[in-house]
Amino acid sequence: MAFSVDDIRKDFPALQQRLEGGKLVYFDNAASAQKPLCVIEKAADFYRRDYSNIHRSAHELSRRATVAFEEARKCVSKHFNAPKNFTAVFTRGATEGLNIVARCYGEKFLKKGDEIILSQMEHHANIVPWQLCAMRTGAEIKAAKILPNGELDMGHLQSLVSPRTKIISIAHASNVLGTINDVQKISEIAKKAGAVFCVDAAQSSPHFLGDISEIGCDFFACSAHKCFGPTGEGALIANTEILNEMDVWQGGGDMIESVSWEKTTFRQAPEKFEAGTPNIAGAVAFARALQYMDSLDIPAARAHEAELLKRATELLEKIEGLRILGNAKNKVPLISFAVKNIHHNDISTMLDANGIAVRSGHHCAEPLMNALGVSGSCRASFAFYNTLEEVEFFAKKLRSAVNLLS
């Protein structure tokens, strides 16, 4: 299918609306993306026709729902090109996926003196679960530094590796700097060290990145809502053998093999991590969102996103007092910025008055904010459905806001 941003925008009902401030310019995609009609309809149709609980009942609707859920699982693995020996566990999102790795792998296999390598640019979702793991096991966390341009200091990361390194867990792309990390290289470093490698793919997956076979990681966590799918849904895609060696996550129905007062045994992955009734329609709609992404002209969509980023960078660089946080060579299409002597919330409020949605705050990356020497920033994050006109309108309104507030 040829890439036409005008046609693509027609697929997204939310983008058609006008707000009080004017036409909606949605630049908060890194927080959560809008949904195409096919995803909304897929969830609605599933509830209208095929909905029932899964895996349990011997009736037609339960069979249909089970097939749809298990097909969705295959679709998620296929989209991310997971190797044959990998399985997709459905989660509530990247946060839950990372918590499962830290709790069920980390707490089972780590001991006092072992080391976990993260980076300075991690989201809290890839810091706090490891802090809890370190607290409970006595393992130690080391954070690889970033270079002044926002790239990961690979030399520093390499220097942190030791025989005690048991886990490396790194974002594929930073939600603040936009930096795309060389996860293939990090995977090689982890393999050499005999450590497992976990990729936080929350920010890379919406931008057509995340080929698990190519990366060579052991764990890969992503969120559906950032990939144009529903909220409360995501996947942890991981090596099945490792998943089967891990502790279980929650206890309850569907994750057990047999239960008695004396002894309970558990199912294999993925079910052992999916206690209780999952977000069945969420999984089905997530798969539909990934199919939608796959139906686009991906090289053209990526080129369009790169053009949005390039134009926004050019325009923002011209605004006096504005500092762009992160100028890595390889970036996902987002720009975080701070303006001298102006609070980020004041800027985002003025942009909102013009219908422009951006994020402001610490972006759940307080250690990174400290390293950058800022209390917070504004972030404009783009998706393939955004336009150059929107970027230009945003830059114009931002310039006016800065002039007014300074």
Q: How far apart are CA 200 and CA 121, in angstroms?
A: 12
Sign for the pseudo-dihedral over CA of 237, 96, 205, 11 = positive
Q: Which residues have C-beta within 8 Å of that of residue 124, sequence separation ≥ 6?
A: 364, 365, 366
Among 39, 54, 76, 125, binds ligand PLP (CB under 6 A): 125
Q: How far apart are CA 337 and CA 354, in angstroms?
A: 19
Catalytic sites, residue numbers: 364
Shortest Å, Cβ 26 to ligand PLP: 16
Using CB under 6 A, which residues numbered 33 to 62 contact ligand PLP? none
Among 35, 79, 103, 123, binds ligand PLP (CB under 6 A): 123
Q: Which is nearer to ligand PLP, 200 or 390 (CB)?
A: 200
Query: What is the b/e burial string over 134-168, where b = at least 16 CB atoms within 10 angstroms of the residue's CB?
Result: beebebeebbbebeeebbbbeebbeebbeebbbbb
Q: How far apart are CA 332 and CA 302, in angstroms?
A: 9
Q: How far apart are CA 77 and CA 80, in angstroms?
A: 5
Using CB under 6 A, which residues numbered 355 to 374 contact ligand PLP? none
- Binding mask 184-223 toward ligand PLP (x if CB under 6 A, else -) reads ----------------x-xx-------------------x
Shortest Å, Cβ 227 to ligand PLP: 10
376 touches ligand PLP (CB under 6 A): no
386 touches ligand PLP (CB under 6 A): no
178 touches ligand PLP (CB under 6 A): no
Q: Which range, of 39-47, 118-126, 152-160, 321-329, touches ligand PLP by CB under 6 A?
A: 118-126
- Binding mask 84-103 toward ligand PLP (x if CB under 6 A, else -) reads ---------xxx--------
Q: Which is nearer to ligand PLP, 12 or 286 (CB)?
A: 286
Residue with tokens 């130690």: 140
Q: Which is nearer to ligand PLP, 200 or 271 (CB)?
A: 200
Q: Which is nearer to ligand PLP, 8 or 100 (CB)?
A: 100
73 touches ligand PLP (CB under 6 A): no
182 touches ligand PLP (CB under 6 A): no
Q: How far apart are CA 141 and CA 165, in angstroms?
A: 10
Residue with tokens 């949005």: 308
The backbone torsions φ and ψ at residue 334, rounded to the nearest 5 degrees and listed phi first, read -145, 150
Q: What number of other Cβ atoms are within 10 A of residue 361's Cβ?
A: 17
Shortest Å, Cβ 173 to ligand PLP: 7
Got the DSSP string for 182-213?
-HHHHHHHHHHHT-EEEEE-TTTGGGT---HH
Using CB under 6 A as the binding criterion, the count of chain residues that bind ligand PLP stands at 13
Q: In the complex, which residues of this chain contact ligand PLP (CB under 6 A)?
A: 93-95, 123, 125-126, 171, 175, 200, 202-203, 223, 225
